[in-house]
Amino acid sequence: MAKVALCACPDYNPDNVASAVDRAVTLCGGMERFVRPGQRVLLKPNMLSAAPLERRVTTDPAVVRAVGKLVLKAGGRIIIGDSPAIDKVSRISRVNGIKEVAVELGADLIEFCRPTLVKTPRGSIYHALELEETVLNADVVINLPKLKTHCMMLLTMGVKNLFGAVVGPRKSQWHMHAGTDRIMFADLLLDICRTLKPALTILDGVWGMQGRGPNNGTPCHLGFLAASRDPLAMDLAIAPLLGVHPASFPLYNAAVRRGLARSDGSGTQMVGDDPSQIFPKDFQLPVLESVMPMPGFLSGLIRRHLTSRPVQDPDLCRDCGKCAAVCPPESLRFVAAHRAVIDHLTCIRCYCCQEVCPADAIHFKTGALVGIVERLRAVMPY
């Protein structure tokens, strides 16, 4: 039975975070269970963009520091790394304080840039993946996600955070290949997770993000840290506490279909603090497009003309060009200052442009199909 430790943590005061991290890790068996003296330990925080800490886009440095100190105490040698979508690790780490933590811990701070082809475990959908060599060669991987909503996958926590092991431009390639189907993309995330096999996942839920995450949502105080040896079990245990119906969570649907999780939610033991005393009742989830089964020759037509499509708000645009740079099918281009043109015939609705926009200048115009489904949802139970 997978164990998920839940520990209250009111703020990022170093003492409070250190106490909560230590308790959560102890409930999972203690850091000595995961790290032996001399081992190379990779800490993988969420470093999506160079956003100020108060926006709650990235894993807080206080969490990285507390985990790193436990690793050092156990005798491990620390590497901190990620592969952000657009910004560089060097810039992000200066803005969010992780560079300072790396210096304090004596850790190497790296940007993933060495993709290596690796075979995936038996039962995977994808038989081989290109993932960061440093992660594959680490003796121990400790996964440090930030709890946020995600406009494509509903939530990003332990499993989704490991997508950062896909190096730079290859993220866009995967969005082209799998990003048009949520279950297909969830299968990719599950295969990455099963290949990397993080020894421990510690979720930063002290402050999270709700609404239009993972980059432009609203900060939300949740007041907890969670830890588990099994990131999938942790994600599926935390999601219902945020008001997520399992059927609406792509990761759940993919995991149950593949026999990696039980449809009744059993098989997970939650220990530590009482969830009812922690989780808010009004956590704001993003609205996802509803996709119904249909013949292949119709699916593209439906997606292009009836589902929600990205639109730009020129008044908010900063002309940074990140949306155009990240667009997998190159459907977005700038024709004038603050003015982008989006080719909705080639757009794959992968949400990459919205995800990386630092000004929240990309929105989605609800399509006719989504509007109909949402109206039905309003009057029908699950």
Report the C-alpha gap between 280 and 370 in whole angstroms.
27
Question: Minimum mean pLDDT among 186-190, 332-336, 363-367: which range?
Answer: 363-367
Q: Counting beta carbons within 10 angstroms of the beta carbon of residue 170, is it exposed (0 to 12), middle (13 to 18) or buried (19 or more)?
A: middle
How far are the Cα atoms of 163, 177, 216, 251, 320 from residue 170, in angstroms, in the given order?
10, 10, 23, 21, 21
How far are the Cα atoms of 371, 379, 380 from residue 213, in angstroms, in the given order?
21, 27, 27
pLDDT at position 371 is 52
Confidence of residue 300 (pLDDT cuts 50, 70, 90): low
With a cut of 90, say whether residue 378 has pLDDT above it. no
pTM score? 0.88
- Relative to beta strand 146-150, strand 77-82 is unpaired
Averaged pLDDT, 205-231: 97
- Cβ distance 307 to 301 under 8 Å? no
With a cut of 80, say whether residue 5 has pLDDT above it. yes
Confidence of residue 168 (pLDDT cuts 50, 70, 90): confident
Q: Which of 252, 247, 222, 248 is closest to 237 using CA atoms?
A: 252
Q: Counting beta carbons within 10 angstroms of the beta carbon of residue 274, is it exposed (0 to 12), middle (13 to 18) or buried (19 or more)?
A: exposed
Averaged pLDDT, 341-366: 82
With a cut of 50, say whether residue 382 has pLDDT above it. no
- Cβ distance 47 to 22 under 8 Å? no
- Return the CA Rg of the chain: 20
pLDDT tens by residue, 55-87:
999 999 999 999 999 999 999 999 999 999 778
pLDDT at position 58 is 98
CA dihedral sign, ordered 51, 55, 61, 63 = negative
Return the percentage of the chain with pLDDT > 90, whole number.
70
Confidence of residue 199 (pLDDT cuts 50, 70, 90): very high
Averaged pLDDT, 124-150: 97
pLDDT tens by residue, 32-63:
999 999 999 999 999 999 999 999 999 999 99
pLDDT: which is higher, 175 or 209: 209
Tokens (6 digits) for 168: 């730079």
With a cut of 60, say whether residue 369 has pLDDT above it. no
Averaged pLDDT, 367-374: 52
pLDDT: which is higher, 9 or 287: 9
pLDDT at position 368 is 54
Averaged pLDDT, 347-359: 82
**pLDDT, mean over the chain:** 90
DSSP secondary structure string for all residues of 61-119: HHHHHHHHHHHHHTT-EEEEEE--SSS-HHHHHHHHSHHHHHHHHT-EEEE---EEEEE
* Highest-pLDDT range among 11-20, 178-187, 317-326: 11-20
Report the C-alpha gap between 230 and 203 in whole angstroms.
12
Q: Where are the beta strands (DSSP E) in the chain?
A: 2-8, 40-45, 77-82, 108-111, 115-119, 128-132, 140-144, 146-150, 154-156, 200-210, 218-228, 268-272, 309-312, 332-336, 339-342, 362-365
Averaged pLDDT, 149-176: 92
Q: Counting beta carbons within 10 angstroms of the beta carbon of residue 378, is it exposed (0 to 12), middle (13 to 18) or buried (19 or more)?
A: exposed
pLDDT at position 32 is 98
**3-state DSSP helix/strand/coil % of the chain, to nearest 5:** 35, 25, 40
Give me the phi and psi of 199, to 5 degrees please: -70, -30
Q: 102: which residues sit within 8 A by CB, 6+ positions away?
A: 78, 80, 93, 108, 109
DSSP secondary structure string for all residues of 255-297: HHHTTSS-TT--SEEEEES-GGGTS-S---PPPPPP-----HH
pLDDT at position 363 is 81
pLDDT: which is higher, 237 or 331: 237
pLDDT tens by residue, 321-348:
989 988 888 889 998 888 899 888 788 7
Q: Which of 30, 34, 28, 33 is closest to 3 using CA atoms?
A: 28
Q: Which of 93, 275, 235 is closest to 154 using CA atoms?
A: 235
* Highest-pLDDT range among 49-53, 303-307, 347-351: 49-53
Report the C-alpha gap between 9 and 13 in whole angstroms.
9
